[in-house]
Amino acid sequence: MSTVEATAGSQRGEFSDWVRERISHAVSELTAATALVVLFIALSFASPYFLTADNLFNIGAQTAVIAIIATAQTMVIITKGIDLSVGSVAALAGVLGAMVVRDLGFSLWAATVVAIGVGALAGLLNGLLVTVARIPPFIATLGTMSVGRGLVFIFSGAVGVYGLPRSFQLLGNGEILGIPFAVVITVLVAVGVAFLLSQTRFGQYTYAMGSNLEAARRSGIGVRRHLTGVYVLAGVLVGLGGMIAASRVNSGQPNYGISLELDVIAAAVIGGASLFGGQGRIVGTIIGAFLIALVRNGAVLLDISIHYQQVIVGLIIWAAVYFDQYRRRRLEARG
């Protein structure tokens, strides 16, 4: 076989892989979107309160927090990692943001910078534990989850932070032309991160590390620096999500975010992110976040216990991961 023929065959193979990957993403996102539409219609008939303006506004605000933090989780999952600390870090960011407003007189925007800074520091810690200490992401972020939750209780004295001004509610309950401000922020975050992952070298390196870390290192990618950067950016988004969550209830709650990691992992995996790394898109994650938010909202409207809600989310994670494995096996077989 000539060199030209070999090159042409290689290019056809790469194109075929690209097509299969695109089809795989489309199938995942279409499946999630279909489930979202079916659930929306079902809840419309199941509860007379579902389609009220107040409830739809609440769904938008609730989805915003899950979507922003799930976007952070998606970036980490693409690198073949996992972040179990998102709930604790979001709570810590929200509580400290509320405290600097109440005790130091900070404005909402200054407090938001503080919350984002808390998230960034937590992300930096996670990144260094994974890249420098070489602790597996699961264990590294599990430790950060415990440390973060402990610090929340230490700083707050295990009680909520109340006595905040009405202006503190802007992020979580404010509106722009009738659209929840939190939803506007979510759209900006989603578009920005989607562009970052699909159109920049940062995104190319992120997918490359998730697909084959050793190959990425040999190709000249600064794996340690770049992977730490992914965790820092994820932490920034978690801190922002924690501040929006605190703003929604006009208080800093030390118990916030317990089991939040399950919701955001479910949202990412439902949307097509693979726990095996190298796959995931923000569009799918947003669809998954809406689906999880609808499950939570519908369960409240139908008076379903929080314990059963956890069972439902667990079943969704099982189903999503099984579908991901099935999809990968099919693609490998066709390849």
Alpha-carbon distances, residue 156 vs 91, 148, 251, 255 (angstroms) = 11, 12, 11, 11
* pLDDT tops 70 at residue 309: yes
This prediction has a pTM of: 0.90
> How far is 139 from 85, CA to CA, in rounded Å?
10
Average pLDDT, the chain: 89
- Give every CB contact of residue 114 below 8 A, 6+ residues apart in sequence: 93, 96, 97, 100, 106
In this structure, are residues 239 and 117 in contact, taking their beta carbons and an 8 Å threshold? yes
The pLDDT, as a whole number, for residue 14 is 53
The pLDDT, as a whole number, for residue 132 is 95
CATH 1.20.1420 fits 29-334, yes or no: no
* pLDDT tops 50 at residue 10: no
Tokens encoding 189? 């975050």
For β-strands 175-176 and 179-180, DSSP reports them as antiparallel
> pLDDT tens digits, residue range 116-151?
999 999 999 999 999 999 999 999 999 999 999 999
